[in-house]
Amino acid sequence: MSYPSDFSTRLKPAAPDGATVIAKERERSNINITQLSEHLMGSEYLERQRKVLAILSQEKIFSKSTQANLSRPDRYKLGLARGKRMRQLQDKHSWDDDDFLMAEYLVDDIQPYHLHISLFTAAVREQASDEQRAYWIPKIAAWEIIGAYAQTELGHGSDVRGIETEARWDPTAKEFVLHSPTITASKWWNGTLGRTANYAVVIAQLMLLEDGGYKPYGPHPFIVQIRDLKTHRPPQSIVVGDIGPKYGYAPMDNAYCLFNQHRIPHSAMLSRHSRIDPQTGVYTKPKNPSSVYGQLTRGRSVIVMNARLVLARAVTVAVRYLSIRRQFHDQDNPTQPLETSVLDYTTVQIRILPLLATTFALHYSGAYVRQLYERTRKNDTTIDAVDEASLSELHSTSAGLKSLATTLAADGIEVCRRSMGGHGFGGGTGLVQLNADYLSKPTVEGDNWMITQQVARYLIKKFKERAHSLNSHALSQTEEHFKIYIYGQSQEPKFDVLKRDQAIVDAFNWRMACIACRAYDAREIEKRSWNSLLIDFHKLSRAYSQAMLVSNFYTATADNSDDMAALDASTRAVLLDLFRLFALYTMDSEAREFQNSGAVSSEDLDKLPAKVLELMERIRPHAVRLVDAWAIPDYLLDSALGRYDGKVYEDLFYRAHMMNPLNRLIFNPDYQTDEIVMGSGDAGQILAKL
Amino acid sequence: MSYPSDFSTRLKPAAPDGATVIAKERERSNINITQLSEHLMGSEYLERQRKVLAILSQEKIFSKSTQANLSRPDRYKLGLARGKRMRQLQDKHSWDDDDFLMAEYLVDDIQPYHLHISLFTAAVREQASDEQRAYWIPKIAAWEIIGAYAQTELGHGSDVRGIETEARWDPTAKEFVLHSPTITASKWWNGTLGRTANYAVVIAQLMLLEDGGYKPYGPHPFIVQIRDLKTHRPPQSIVVGDIGPKYGYAPMDNAYCLFNQHRIPHSAMLSRHSRIDPQTGVYTKPKNPSSVYGQLTRGRSVIVMNARLVLARAVTVAVRYLSIRRQFHDQDNPTQPLETSVLDYTTVQIRILPLLATTFALHYSGAYVRQLYERTRKNDTTIDAVDEASLSELHSTSAGLKSLATTLAADGIEVCRRSMGGHGFGGGTGLVQLNADYLSKPTVEGDNWMITQQVARYLIKKFKERAHSLNSHALSQTEEHFKIYIYGQSQEPKFDVLKRDQAIVDAFNWRMACIACRAYDAREIEKRSWNSLLIDFHKLSRAYSQAMLVSNFYTATADNSDDMAALDASTRAVLLDLFRLFALYTMDSEAREFQNSGAVSSEDLDKLPAKVLELMERIRPHAVRLVDAWAIPDYLLDSALGRYDGKVYEDLFYRAHMMNPLNRLIFNPDYQTDEIVMGSGDAGQILAKL
């Protein structure tokens, strides 16, 4: 686009300009950013980020500046081109999987091959027999075939047992017949399958002949060719396509897919865990039916770690912009020369600074879940052998954290956006696409409300065990909290949360145990219906997960581990304030539960808002350096408001005046003519696009 | 698009299909939908909706089915074409202003002429002298000129006094010189100005010579030609364009605009309220500086009435879809033949049914504000003469309600979306664009957090007056609540909210008065800083506005007015349950404030969740008919999930398989070639669009 040469090029922003302001903000704090960055992200990660970013920034195809102007079909084309280029760069620079994932993360625009490298590859790896692995994995690794993962259907998502797609075993032909009996049986949402993939792992109800009729044996995975490798067209027995525009993920081709008596060979059934004997037709059941949980749990730990970075992005943009933006003079000092920095208003601080603290809270718990998962995995080399009890604890834990973390992040992006006022609604935030994409997270990998039942079910079971026997064997942490509560119930402990940090953690655990006790009473003693308790279960899961966040945050900051000892004392003091802010802000939001459970006195709860104000005042000068520590590059932020150098207004104007294709056209505003572009004679042309 | 003829055309959804389910839902309730619709919307409105819809549905240009696929420039072109067509239809069918507004509402895609017919016209009507009106109004009415309203700047939004654009009076040439001294002085966000308008009312700092230098006289309105009426290009002294893609409002050309010593005649200053004598240069101040509030207040009453309809749309989609969608069997009855309707889960009800009740709460308060505004206007024919005191009460009232109503609606859309799980993220909701567009509302016409200060300032002033003199003159309702609180403070009333509806209203007013009293103490007695109290002020405004919603809802439903008497007794009973649900759900969310203020006993507050469950169970069978009563046509909903006939899955599949332009293309997935569309040789072409 040619640069219009006009008087606007001479103009500067009103003083003080953003670059000056943000430099002063950085002078107000002595946090060692490099140190804190390495503490949070690890030097390996930061080095990888630098390395991959240097390569991506050389390539025009990864420029984000104008992609928001493109049509949906062009967004897909761009996504496909980017996916190809990423893989070419992987070949060229010998990127490992983590490098490739870093490239995807930085480009931040889902690419249509994504399900091939994630769920499809994982499904084949975990569900295929050794023989099947040997055949498929090399083709998959070389992208000779492109695969998708087709589980969800139009009529069924969360409830996998309800899926309608059938795979009937035909003992004569020794083939399976894939069939969609209804329109609701259509596969739906399956990424990469809509336009890109030529293969898919299809989850279908296995149907076997029994007493002269077909009987269902539950959902099983089949690897199925969907499109011809030359023409890229499906056979007549498969109808497949992209479901159309969604909230986000414009470049991804989420699919619908129907099968009409589509025959696949016996070898199509991925048979690591269960199989059909081709000769006898005898079915072998999976040894460990819970093996599927491992993958789900891993997915959730990734989601929690991702939530912290997504929220950190939104908070980075908000903190930087809001410290530069000034609006209104202080009511009590109307003659001050400068208007007030928006981040100095308490009504803005109360929205942003607790979220800043939340990024750290999520970090320490995300790290905890990852460690726990890896520890459980290490008990044996295969997932099948993972100890059932630990897996069940981890599973319930990760479900609650997934729910809370993605809710905090999704809601947090919007809180950040609204805090930025008018410019928060504009394209210059860098949050438009992030928000639209991220809004999927409260739903995928287990709906955030639905999965809290799992947490409650687990906690009620544990509470029941402890209520009957306090001192059986070695107790888990949760069981210890239950024990403390059951012993201490009558004493109303009133933890001194304003004076002792450990008391804050104790108060969160006490309140969790109290709500668990009530849920146990309601379900096990009063025998109330499951459905009537679901809201209480959701509150229990939230209380449990908040206690986890608070506890892990405190453990991490209070510890004298090597990791924490590497930080300056002043930085550690700020981290401790962030812990207090997160915990006490959360406590204030849920004050009545802390009061009713007897964990904190009403007098202390009344003092929380003042305490939160005091903590925010202490943290405020460090806000810019704290977001800097998350080390989110400008390329990823793609935000005029959040750029590192503070040139907010210059960039907003540049994007509008120089980067907007709409400004290349002159229009005809006369309503009596249907011409749109002045002098083009294009009357009626736009109709053809509808 | 040609219809692919394949086996999918033969398929039906799994039984029971949506049409059957929703018919049964409608059988469960005896609410008279026609009656309730007329009660809510008025028969004139419903007739207008029918009339305009019949015309719009004849025109392909207003078809919404594929617009989400278009590029941003095409969205603007489509918007311009639609705006033209709407005006042509207005001429053809002699539509009045309300008909035209109805067309805009139904098409539901902001059209680029919108600021011409709204703020530009209003500004000229209210700010121009009689002579200026006579000159401009006919041209504006005939769309001979297209105008915009340019107030907000890159550096200043809410704080109008901070705007930088200058209008210097040149006494020699007898002209004003419009000038943008900095880049932050650029006009910004001004709809219709980016590409469409040739005129604008520009708000600029009036600068007059005084003691040899220019002194600012505050912001004033000037009518300025921006583009040539023939070429549609701006002069060299104006830089103007569209700011680029935003969260929503894709068809609107929000502008940036800079002036470089741009000269405009003396007649350009709109001089109804203040003027410059062209001969002497003497400035006449506006008589009533608050006259600007009238327009703002009216704007806010429209926003509240609009919020109820927007929320009703989201709730309509959610209620219809969630009663059709089934997922999982009841835990306590696993052998039931059908899975549970999602709307029967209490965790879904608690999100949707209070929002359903909120649409009615907003309705009765929106109607109340509109009546109040119209009553104030009727005191005199011109806004200048409006009684200052009533205007001030109305202004603070409307600010609080605007803040609460738009927050409830904006958050409510997202709650509805998430409640719909996977399909809630898809384009079939009909909420994608609504959400993106509506997210502007918590910010425009006064940021929702910022404007709560106005409510607090007003209430503190009123509380101070009452604290010093309880029985002066006739008291407003708010002052009566203060009086009751001041007299009764020591008695801790504990309103019996579970038994008496009036007690619910009293409890809300008591809690409001208690928070007002604390705010008064903190500011007036303890002399705490304004900034340190902003969070408390926000809570006060929320408490005040919630009390208004609850009080107006109760007054309307309990009254024996003609309006209410026209409804069947059974319908009135459901409305009363909706009132209780809204009020008690809100009370439960804010329980600690009700407890601390002494309005409700802790024991009663503990019983609220059970009471809310009970109310939801009573309202549940009426849910579908209640949303039907909002009479939102399928054309406006544009939602596969929310369609009246319940054919959810059929429509989702049809939209995906038949209406998606991406499915017309076959792609090349081989990463080793840069070709995108199979066989097209288009390698590298997508780069040209970046």
Give yes or no for B212 touching A (CB within 8 A). Answer: no
What does residue B315 show for φ and ψ, rounded to 5 degrees?
Answer: -70, -35
Pair A36, A71 in one domain: yes
Between residues 284 and 303 of chain A, which touch chain B (CB distance below 8 Å)? none
Q: In Å, how far from its chain's centre is CA B197?
A: 24
Interface test with B, best of A84, A641, A672 (most B CBs within 10 A): A84
Read off the tokens for A209: 């002949």
Q: Checking phi first, is residue B146 left (phi over 0); if not, alpha (psi -120 to 50) or beta?
A: beta
Q: Do the Cβ atoms of A190 and A149 come closer than 8 Å?
A: yes
Give yes or no for A633 touching B (CB within 8 A). Answer: no
Beta strands B166-170; B175-179: pairing state: antiparallel
Give yes or no for A20 touching B (CB within 8 A). Answer: no
Residue numbers in B near A604 (CB within 8 A): none
Pair B267, B200 in one domain: yes
- A554 within a domain of the structure (yes/no): yes
In whole angstroms, what is the distance from residue A359 CA to residue A353 CA? 10
Cis peptide bond prior to B493, omega within 30° of 0: no
Per-residue pLDDT, A391? 63
Q: Please give the mean pLDDT across all residues of chain A.
A: 92
Rg (CA), chain A: 28
Contact B159 A676 (CB under 8 A): no
Is the pLDDT higher at B383 or at A594? A594
Give yes or no for B99 touching A (CB within 8 A). Answer: no
Whether residue A383 has pLDDT greater than 70: no
Q: What is the DSSP string of B22-48?
A: HHHHHHT----HHHHHHHHH-HHHHHH
Domain CATH for A98: 1.10.540.10
Q: Region A382-401: what's the mean pLDDT? A: 64
- B17 within a domain of the structure (yes/no): no
Per-residue pLDDT, B386? 40
Per-residue pLDDT, B474? 62
Whether the CA torsion A509, A515, A516, A517 is positive or negative: it is: positive
Q: For residue B527, what is the nearest residue in chain A, using CA coordinates?
A: A332
Whether residue A23 has pLDDT greater than 60: yes
Per-residue pLDDT, A483? 85
**How many distinct structural domains can be found in chain A?**
3
Contact A449 B186 (CB under 8 A): no
- % of chain A with per-residue pLDDT over 70: 95
What does residue A211 show for φ and ψ, rounded to 5 degrees?
Answer: 50, 40
Which candidate in B153, B445, B479, B593 is catalytic?
B445
Pair A360, A402 in one domain: yes
Read off the tokens for B577: 């349950």
Q: Do the Cβ atoms of A251 and A79 come closer than 8 Å?
A: yes
Q: Do the Cβ atoms of B174 and B278 come closer than 8 Å?
A: yes
Amino acid at B192: T
- A425 within a domain of the structure (yes/no): yes
Q: Do the Cβ atoms of A348 and A342 come closer than 8 Å?
A: yes
Nearest to B183 by CA among B251, B267, B249, B258: B258
Mean pLDDT by 10 residues, chain B (690 residues): 77 96 97 96 97 97 96 98 98 97 97 96 95 98 98 88 94 97 97 98 96 94 98 98 97 98 98 93 77 63 92 98 92 87 97 98 90 68 46 76 96 97 96 94 91 94 83 72 82 87 97 96 96 97 96 90 87 97 98 96 96 98 98 98 98 96 97 97 93
Q: Do the Cβ atoms of B253 and A676 come closer than 8 Å?
A: no
Task: pLDDT band for A385, please (50, 70, 90 cuts).
Answer: very low
- B431 within a domain of the structure (yes/no): yes
Identify the burial level of A337 via C-beta atoms within 10 angstroms of its C-beta, where 0-12 means exposed, 13-18 middle and 19 or more buried: exposed
Give yes or no for A542 touching B (CB within 8 A). Answer: no
Q: Do the Cβ atoms of B509 and B554 come closer than 8 Å?
A: no
Question: What are the beta bridge partners of residue B264?
Answer: B176
Contact A164 B256 (CB under 8 A): no
Residue that terminates a domain, selected from B577, B605, B627 = B627
Consult the annotation and say whether B42 binds a ligand.
Answer: no
Per-residue pLDDT, B380? 45
Residue that terminates a domain, selected from B627, B653, B680 = B627
Pair B367, B486 in one domain: yes
CA distance B43 to chain A (A): 32
Task: pLDDT band for A470, please (50, 70, 90 cuts).
Answer: low
Pair A384, A501 in one domain: yes
Q: Do the Cβ atoms of A178 and A202 come closer than 8 Å?
A: yes
Q: Do the Cβ atoms of B408 and B437 come closer than 8 Å?
A: no
Does residue B108 sit in helix, strand or coil?
coil
Residue numbers in B near A195 (CB within 8 A): 662-663, 665, 667
In whole angstroms, what is the distance from residue A587 CA to residue A581 CA? 10
Per-residue pLDDT, A499? 96
Identify the burial level of B335 via C-beta atoms within 10 angstroms of its C-beta, where 0-12 means exposed, 13-18 middle and 19 or more buried: exposed
Interface test with B, best of A69, A87, A231 (most B CBs within 10 A): A69
- B140 within a domain of the structure (yes/no): no
In whole angstroms, what is the distance from residue A469 CA to residue A466 CA? 5
Pair A241, A371 in one domain: no
Per-residue pLDDT, A51? 98
Contacts for A614 with CB less than 8 Å, ≥ 6 apart: none
CA distance B686 to chain A (A): 6
Domain CATH for A240: 2.40.110.10
Pair B421, B455 in one domain: yes
Per-residue pLDDT, B80? 98
Per-residue pLDDT, B382? 43
Helices (H), B469-558: 477-488, 501-520, 534-558
User: What torsion, rounded to 10 degrees, do the Cα atoms B472, B473, B475, B480 define?
Assistant: 30
Interface test with A, best of B82, B85, B639, B653 (most A CBs within 10 A): B653
Give yes or no for A382 touching B (CB within 8 A). Answer: no
In whole angstroms, what is the distance from residue A351 CA to residue A531 CA? 34
Active site residue B445: yes
Give yes or no for A35 touching B (CB within 8 A). Answer: no
Pair A100, A172 in one domain: no
Pair B531, B451 in one domain: yes
Nearest to A588 by CA among A607, A571, A615: A607
Q: For the segment A417-464, what is each residue's pLDDT rounded down to a tens digit?
A: 999 999 999 999 999 999 999 999 999 888 999 999 999 999 999 999
Which of B74, B159, B346 is closest, CB to CB, to A71?
B74
Give yes or no for A341 touching B (CB within 8 A). Answer: no
Contacts for A536 with CB less than 8 Å, ≥ 6 apart: A456, A515, A518, A519, A522, B609
Whether residue A387 has pLDDT greater than 50: no
Per-residue pLDDT, B471? 65
Q: Region A210-214: what's the mean pLDDT? A: 91
Helices (H), B198-344: 291-324
Q: In Å, how far from its chain's centre is CA A567?
A: 28
Contact B649 A245 (CB under 8 A): no
Which of B331, B421, B450 is closest, CB to CB, to A447?
B421
Pair B459, B581 in one domain: yes
Contact A88 B672 (CB under 8 A): yes
CA terminus-to-terminus distance, chain A:
28
Number of Cβ atoms within 10 Å of the Cβ of A267: 16
Per-residue pLDDT, B295? 62
Q: Region A297-317: what's the mean pLDDT? A: 90
In whole angstroms, what is the distance from residue B24 CA to residue B22 CA? 5
Pair A321, A201 in one domain: no
Which of B159, B427, B538 is closest, CB to CB, to A246?
B427
- A516 within a domain of the structure (yes/no): yes
Residue that terminates a domain, selected from A245, A261, A286 = A286
Residue numbers in B near A415 (CB within 8 A): none
What strands, in cross-sheet order, belong to the sheet with B255-259?
B187-190, B255-259, B238-242
Contact A256 B653 (CB under 8 A): yes
Number of Cβ atoms within 10 Å of the Cβ of B456: 26
Which candidate in A126, A164, A393, A445 is catalytic?
A445
Kind plus residue range of the DSSP H or E element containing A214: strand A213-225
Task: pLDDT band for A287, please (50, 70, 90 cuts).
Answer: confident
Per-residue pLDDT, A392? 65
Beta strands B199-210; B166-170: pairing state: parallel
Contact B327 A162 (CB under 8 A): yes
Q: For the segment A47-102, what is each residue's pLDDT rounded down to a tens digit?
A: 999 999 999 999 999 999 999 999 999 999 999 999 999 999 999 999 999 999 99
Residue numbers in A near B686 (CB within 8 A): 61, 74, 77-78, 81
Give yes or no for A71 touching B (CB within 8 A). Answer: yes
Whether residue A382 has pLDDT greater than 50: no
Contact A159 B327 (CB under 8 A): yes
Whether the CA torsion A519, A524, A526, A527 is positive or negative: it is: positive
Does residue A667 sit in helix, strand or coil?
strand
Give yes or no for A513 touching B (CB within 8 A). Answer: no
Domain that holds residue B174: 147-271
Pair A77, A60 in one domain: yes
- B40 within a domain of the structure (yes/no): no
Per-residue pLDDT, A1? 44
Q: For the segment A658-689, what is each residue's pLDDT rounded down to a tens digit?
A: 999 999 999 999 999 999 999 999 999 999 99
Task: pLDDT band for A472, please (50, 70, 90 cuts).
Answer: low
- B122 within a domain of the structure (yes/no): no
Which of A347, A450, A677 is closest, CB to CB, to B449?
A347
Q: Region A562-584: what's the mean pLDDT? A: 94
Q: How far is CA B509 from CA B390, B483, B485, B506, in A?
A: 20, 11, 9, 5
Domain CATH for A521: 1.20.140.10
Interface test with B, best of A341, A455, A663, A685 (most B CBs within 10 A): A663
Give yes or no for A183 touching B (CB within 8 A). Answer: yes
